[in-house]
Amino acid sequence: MAGLAVALVFVPGAAQASTTSELQRGLDKIHAAGMPGVFAVGQNGTAREPAASGAGDVNTGRPVQPHYRHRVGSITKTFVATVMLQLSAEGRVDLDAPIGRYLPEFAVDGVTVRMLLNHTSGIGNFTDTIESPEDVLRLQYTTVRPEELARLGLSLPRTGEPGASWSYSNTGYILAGLIIEKVTGRPAAFEIYWRVIFRAGLWHTRLPGTDPRIYGPHSAAYIPWPPAGELRDLSVFNMSWAWMAGEMVSTPDDLNRFYRALLGGKLLRPAQLAEMKTTVDMVPGAPEAGAYGLGLMTVPLPCGVSVWGHTGGVFGHTTYSMHGEQGGKQLSLALNMSHYQTGPVDPIADATIDTIFGYFCGQEPGLRSTASALSVPNLDHNGLALAS
């Protein structure tokens, strides 16, 4: 689904000292704003701060826990881009080669591998075709092949000329996954396990493929279902519809460990990490709205901190994973409801961004985050309107 574009807005507000309990207070505010359950792990060097608020199951009242597994959606893209850059370092993939060199059946004039990874290909976003509750239910137990997803995306109207501007497209990462498979002769999931997950010690991270279940402790995945808005649990879902654009299950601790290894230079050579961090503005002429590299985005905060990472969203689960330079101060935060808001006011998003801002910057005198945002691409907010 299309990217959730949000902007950081700061207005005068009372100064508030940052304390070790600020993260917990932030999660409590997110829960109070209407999120059934939210959990997070902050990391600052060796200091780990787990926090959680609300319910993992609204029927039983079971509390959510910070170690829960969670569908992390588009954060999968950082893993895919990491593998692609490793293949580039090995001389097996040329980032500036046309995609037709590797996938002649999906060739698009002027589109390179790099453009798939930084969302400047102009190729349509296949998840924009998910438009109704019926579409969601149709996908829940259906296996969709990646070639089908690629053809669907390529059949859509172009969003621009190749390389001209940034436009979020999940189709690009389906094509990237197919390139990995073509070059290596092995499943893209195998390459991610072998090159990234095992190497970084991510023991609670999984690519489920067509298996619809989340194994181990996890929350429900809620959507307010029309017409009455009753919460429906979609935690059992065949994620083949998202594949390399967003099928991953992970935990906040594993995400922090992954980005710490990545940004600390343990997964990529310096030249490839520099390529990953070479960005384009997500909003032309507005770098303050965030920029996107190769499977990695960055947002500058007004306290002088720039955070790197990604977010992701699938049906019922949303995740933010943000990190300082070289994986210094880190925060991975997960919410267990999506598609809950269709109007201009979103108190849950406001509280979420307040929490992220407060964690990295504290509450500086005269500055307070008031709008939802970090221009962060998510799988879950597109034209699909489920909440009334």
Q: Which residues of 230-258 are buried (b: 16+ CB within 10 A; e: fewer)?
A: ebbbbbebbbbbbbbbbbbbbbbbbbbbb
Counted residue by residue, the chain has a size of 388
User: CA-CA distance, 54 to 77, in Å (whole number)?
Assistant: 29
Q: Hey, is 134 helix, strand or coil?
A: helix
- Residue 258's nearest CA partner among 319, 197, 328 is 197
Helix crossing, 252-263 with 76-89: angle to 10°? Answer: 30
- Helix boundaries (H) for 316-371: 347-361
What is the CA angle 240-242-245, rounded to 5?
Answer: 135
- Residue 311's nearest CA partner among 248, 227, 384 is 248
- Residue 70's nearest CA partner among 187, 211, 219 is 219
Asked if 384 and 136 touch (Cβ cutoff 8 Å), the reply is yes
**Residue of 21, 53, 74, 388 marked active site:** 74
User: CA-CA distance, 163 to 122, in Å (whole number)?
Assistant: 7
Instruction: Tell me whether residue 369 is one of the annotated catalytic residues.
Output: no
- Residue 359's nearest CA partner among 79, 21, 116, 61 is 21
Residues with a catalytic annotation lie at 74
